[in-house]
Amino acid sequence: MTDRIKLHDKVFKRFIPNERLIEAIDKVADKINADYHGTGKVPVLLCVLNGSIPFTAELMKRLDFDVDLMSIKLTSYQGISSTGEVKMDMGLTGDVTGKEIIVIEDIVDTGRTIETLVDILQARKAAKVKVCTMLLKPEMYKKDLALDYVAMEIPDDFIVGFGLDYDGLGRNYKDIYVLDNESQN
């Protein structure tokens, strides 16, 4: 385990160890299983690329019912801050018409991305849309849109690791790291 990492010009310190992430994923998977096991429904897990890949992979292994898997790529960050604009970098990898969707997101902060995505899915005639996020910044989230499954709440800090990046780097770390303001130049 690495206590500190340097990505580009920033230093990050370990914030959430992988064991805590896995415990949170286990708990959120239990909630989803309780909602879907034995219903005969086959929802689509919609992985929001690229950050949600590790979370989606871990979550899928814990679900005890059949699922379909699709992806979409939306971006709203540049560097360590949000651009305030949500851009679709890659469209949906399948047809969602009449299907129940569980959006799998790595992190929800302002909610702009998730709100835009739900609008896209509703416009494409998805039957039902639920939202599952690995991380939520509750003090940042002011939208009326319900988040159905939240694995973990965190403060409003810039983080990397377990799928989350800083200008393309840091997604591969199994732990989550927070910007270490004391180590910055």
Catalytic position from the list 106, 109, 165, 175: 109
Q: 4 near 12, Cβ under 8 Å?
A: yes
Tokens (6 digits) for 9: 């010009």
* The 10-16 sheet, strands edge to edge: 4-7, 10-16, 176-179, 159-160
Handedness of CA 125, 96, 105, 68 (dihedral sign): positive
Contacts of 174 (CB under 8 A, 6+ apart): 18, 161, 162
Q: How many CB atoms lie within 10 A of CB 92?
A: 19
Does residue 119 have an active-site annotation?
no
SS3 62: helix
Q: 14 near 69, Cβ under 8 Å?
A: no
Q: What share of the chain is helix, strand, coil (3-state, %, to 5)?
A: 25, 40, 40
List residues with catalytic annotation: 109
